[in-house]
């Protein structure tokens, strides 16, 4: 007998459980996560022909909080997706028929995170910068950072959100907010080297949406270079021997040391080449499948191999709960 999925929503700071009330009105709900996006977002469409939500004073709109879970009743093993707390960022009403579309993000919509700043981070580390910014905003930190040392690193007219995204790109880390609302800042190399969490074959996949493998060479580079100046200028280099391209690219950032530049050249490669081999497929809804996990897929010949989850979309509709996975193939580029 197929498992029956359920939706749980705790609304606003009053911890009002509207799950039973809202289920019959929800047309669909989707929770989307990407390794390259700081925020997880949830989108909910609600049928409101009787104006129950439009006229409800409890429904305040922007800034309201939603605590969202998807689960199967009495399922073994427990496949519950505890997506965490979301902050309502966008509300749309379309009619007729009356449909409310809600979008929420999993980090606080406070102005401080988005206020542009100019300052110099001196005599500190990557972990030190991340922890200091988190403390300023009352946030906790998760993930493991590379041991990067800074003499002077500029935050020039950038919000803390922008600055953290730039740090992640420039030093080959993942930055996002996790399901507990913590600031997750983690070495991408450690993700790449982690053991596989899953193995998928044709029997595990749903027919719709259909599986798709992609291999592309357009826009890729073979040779990567970043510059550093520690008093004696030099470069860090990397060669991707898995592409047909013979093009070269040099990063625009000048690093303080060779160690920094090594991370920078990997980040440069990741932004251009890492997604050239990818796979997309759908499985029955499963909250145990997490962003950034590595997995093996088999049964497709030369497309078989090890991949890493780059994007997850869990959606619940009249057709049930499905988990859509987008992954990139793992392969090792070579420093030169």
Pairing of strands 26-34, 41-47: antiparallel
Separation between Cα atoms, residue 282 and residue 260, nearest integer Å: 38
Q: What is the pLDDT along the chain (336 residues), one digit of tens a residue?
A: 567 898 888 887 566 777 777 778 888 999 999 999 989 999 999 999 888 888 887 777 888 888 999 999 877 788 999 999 999 999 999 999 999 999 999 987 777 889 999 999 999 999 999 999 999 999 999 999 999 999 999 999 999 999 999 999 999 999 999 999 999 999 999 999 999 999 999 999 998 888 999 999 999 999 999 999 999 999 999 999 999 999 999 999 999 999 999 999 999 999 999 989 999 999 999 999 999 999 999 999 999 999 999 999 999 998 899 999 999 999 865 554
Find residue 227's DSSP bridge partners. Answer: 235, 254
DSSP secondary structure, 50-112, as one string: T-TTTT-TT---TT-EEEEEEEETT-SS---EEEEEEEEEEEEEETTTTEEEEEEESS---HH
- Phi and psi at 110, nearest 5°, equal -90, 150
Query: How many Å from the N-terminal Cα to the C-terminal Cα in the chain?
Result: 56
Beta bridge partners of 142: 184
The span from the CA of 314 to the CA of 321, in Å, is: 7
> CA torsion sign, 209 to 215 to 219 to 220?
positive
| Domains along the chain with CATH numbers | 5-105 (no CATH), 111-190 (3.55.50.10), 194-335 (no CATH)
Determine the Cα–Cα distance for residues 248 and 51; give it in Å rounded to an integer. Answer: 59
Which residues are CB-neighbours of 188 under 8 A, at least 6 positions away?
Answer: 172, 173, 174, 266, 267, 270
d(CA 278, CA 292): 14
Look at the block and give the residue holding tokens 């206020």.
115
User: For the chain, how big is the Rg over CA atoms in Å?
Assistant: 22
pTM: 0.92
């Amino acid at each position: 007998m197929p498992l029956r999925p359920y939706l749980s929503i705790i609304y606003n700071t009053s911890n009002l459980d509207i799950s039973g009330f809202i289920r019959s009105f929800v047309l669909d709900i989707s929770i989307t996560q990407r390794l390259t996006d700081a925020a997880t977002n949830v989108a909910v469409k609600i049928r409101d022909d009787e104006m129950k939500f439009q006229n409800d004073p409890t429904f305040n709109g922007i800034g309201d909080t939603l605590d969202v879970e998807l689960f199967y009743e009495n399922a073994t093993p427990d496949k519950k997706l505890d997506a965490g707390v979301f902050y309502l960022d966008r509300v749309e009403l379309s009619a007729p028929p009356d449909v409310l579309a809600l979008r929420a993000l999993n980090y606080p919509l406070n102005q401080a995170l988005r206020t542009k700043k100019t300052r110099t981070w001196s005599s500190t580390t990557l972990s030190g910068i991340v922890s200091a910014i988190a403390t300023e905003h009352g946030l906790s930190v998760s993930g493991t950072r590379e041991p990067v040392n800074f003499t002077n690193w500029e935050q020039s007219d950038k919000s803390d959100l922008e600055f953290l995204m730039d740090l992640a790109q420039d030093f080959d880390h993942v930055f996002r907010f996790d399901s507990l609302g913590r600031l997750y800042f983690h070495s991408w190399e450690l993700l790449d080297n982690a053991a596989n969490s899953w193995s998928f074959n044709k029997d595990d996949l749903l027919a719709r949406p259909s599986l798709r493998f992609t291999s592309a060479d357009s826009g890729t580079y073979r040779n990567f270079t970043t510059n550093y100046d520690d008093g004696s200028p030099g470069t860090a280099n990397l060669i991707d021997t898995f592409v047909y391209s013979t093009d070269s690219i040099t990063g625009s950032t000048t690093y303080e040391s060779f160690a920094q530049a090594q991370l920078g050249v990997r980040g440069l490669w990741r932004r251009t080449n890492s997604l050239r081999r990818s796979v997309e497929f759908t499985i029955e809804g499963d909250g145990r499948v997490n962003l950034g996990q590595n997995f093996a897929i088999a049964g497709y010949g030369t497309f078989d191999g090890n991949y890493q989850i780059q994007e997850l979309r869990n959606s619940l509709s009249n057709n049930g709960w499905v988990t859509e996975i987008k992954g990139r193939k793992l392969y090792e580029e070579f420093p030169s």
